[in-house]
């Protein structure tokens, strides 16, 4: 087994070395996915590829546009060109729930709405919920894969490109390819020092530094959180099952509000700190999005096994041994200075 990783300082720290949690049986090739020689070396004698490489911050992607496009889009293109010379048995690519933008909604009379959105003017008025143009409130629904993508950030655009590059190339060159649309992933070994990582890791970093988690908007936005252990199992199933050419949601199907998540994280870490609801918004954020897992069950035999309570207790046990630099305020200042925080 082999892993290719550049060990990005934002994720692994300035003096990044081989992660101690990486299994001894894994050969680590340190290199950039945009470096063809590194990719070719990593692909030697490989039959299955799980492509997880990406820069991963919605807010950061809105000003580091060239970097996100280069790593996520160009890096995927270089990987695929290398695969044309080195056919494999299966390619699994990590896509993202961010490609949906807002999730699926319905009106009071049951009409399904695919392309709901919120304007900047609406957000500046602190009108957080998604409505029709006539002002009718919409009710969120589980989002299936057939929903039309509605790309609200450079990150979302790059993840959709990654997904489609792999599926299109796979069909053209008979490379079995599956895209897994991950929802909000959490678990041990997340980058606690990265203020653009998953929200649970950001909350944990704040709590470990005796600071309250900061919540944007009003805290009632709904998300789905899936354990890294379920993510790993989904990748294995995508390799093993005789499926290709499709994109599949991977989540927990157990949606919670962000405010609930902050409270559950504080409880798991045994701290009395209450979340701070700041009433600001970030450009590119969506209100509600959580998955329909029907296709995951049908095509992959996937069903989540780790409950949120179990996952948070596991995360808390790992966090007891960790230190976490808190860079949240720096991120806020960066976004505000660029007009991306309202």
Q: Residue 193's pLDDT is what?
A: 62
Judged by average pLDDT, the poorest of 107-111, 223-227, 245-249, 319-323 is 319-323
- Average pLDDT value for residue range 118-127: 93
Going by pLDDT thresholds of 50, 70 and 90, the confidence category of residue 201 is confident
Query: What are the tens digits of pLDDT across the range 3-24?
Result: 999 998 888 878 888 988 899 9
pLDDT of residue 196 exceeding 60:
no
How confident is the model at residue 299, as a pLDDT? Answer: 98
Give pLDDT tens digits for 156-179: 999 999 999 999 999 999 999 999
Q: What is the mean pLDDT of residues 17-46?
A: 95
Does the domain formed by 2-337 have CATH 3.40.50.720?
Answer: yes
pLDDT of residue 329 exceeding 80, the answer is: no
Q: What is the mean pLDDT of residues 48-64?
A: 92
Q: What is the mean pLDDT of residues 276-298?
A: 93
Q: Would you state the pLDDT for residue 14?
A: 80
The predicted pLDDT at position 76 comes to 98
Sign of CA dihedral 105, 106, 111, 117: negative
pLDDT score of 148 more than 80: yes
More confident residue, 91 or 152: 91
Token code pair at residue 78:
């270089």
Quote the pLDDT of residue 318.
Answer: 86
Looking at residues 140-166, what average pLDDT do you find? Answer: 96
Burial of 17 (0-12, 13-18, 19+ CB in 10 A): exposed
Rounded to the nearest integer, the mean pLDDT of the chain is 91
Confidence of residue 340 (pLDDT cuts 50, 70, 90): low
CA distances from 308 to 129, 226, 238, 264, 313 (A): 25, 8, 23, 9, 9
Of 11-15, 80-84, 185-189, 336-340, least confident by mean pLDDT is 336-340
Strand partners, 5: 30
Cα separation, 40 vs 81, in Å, equals 10
CA dihedral 62, 63, 66, 69 (to 10 degrees): -20
Give residue limits of the domains in the chain. 2-337
């Amino acid at each position: 087994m082999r892993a290719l990783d550049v060990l990005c300082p934002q994720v692994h720290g300035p003096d990044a070395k081989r992660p101690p949690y990486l299994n001894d049986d894994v050969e680590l090739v340190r290199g950039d996915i945009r470096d063809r020689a590194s990719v070719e070396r990593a692909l030697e004698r490989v039959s299955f590829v799980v492509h997880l490489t990406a820069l991963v911050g919605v807010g950061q992607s809105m000003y580091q546009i060239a970097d996100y496009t280069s790593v996520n889009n160009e890096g995927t293109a270089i990987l695929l060109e290398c695969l044309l010379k080195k056919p494999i048995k299966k390619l699994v690519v990590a896509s993202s729930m961010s490609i949906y933008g807002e999730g699926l909604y319905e009106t009071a009379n049951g009409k399904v709405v695919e392309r709901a959105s919120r304007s900047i003017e609406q957000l500046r008025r602190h009108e957080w919920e998604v409505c029709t143009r006539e002002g009718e409130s919409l009710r969120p629904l589980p989002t299936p894969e057939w929903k039309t993508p509605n790309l609200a950030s450079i990150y979302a655009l790059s993840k959709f490109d990654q997904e489609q590059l792999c599926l299109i190339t796979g069909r053209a060159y008979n490379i079995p390819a599956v895209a897994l649309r991950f929802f909000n992933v959490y678990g041990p070994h997340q980058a606690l020092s990265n203020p653009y990582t998953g929200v649970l890791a950001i909350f944990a970093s704040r709590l470990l530094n005796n600071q309250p988690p900061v919540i944007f908007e009003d805290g009632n936005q709904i998300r789905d959180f899936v354990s890294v252990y379920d993510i790993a199992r989904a990748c294995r199933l995508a390799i093993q099952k005789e499926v290709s050419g499709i994109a599949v949601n991977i989540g927990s199907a157990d949606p919670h509000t962000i405010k609930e998540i902050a409270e559950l994280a504080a409880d798991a870490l045994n701290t009395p700190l209450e979340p701070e609801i700041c009433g600001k918004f970030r450009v590119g954020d969506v209100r509600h999005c959580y998955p329909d897992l029907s296709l995951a069950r049908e095509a992959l035999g996937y069903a989540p096994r780790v409950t949120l309570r179990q996952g948070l207790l596991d995360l808390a046990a790992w966090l007891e041994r960790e230190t976490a630099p808190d860079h949240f305020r720096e991120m806020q200042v960066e976004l505000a200075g660029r007009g991306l925080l309202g």
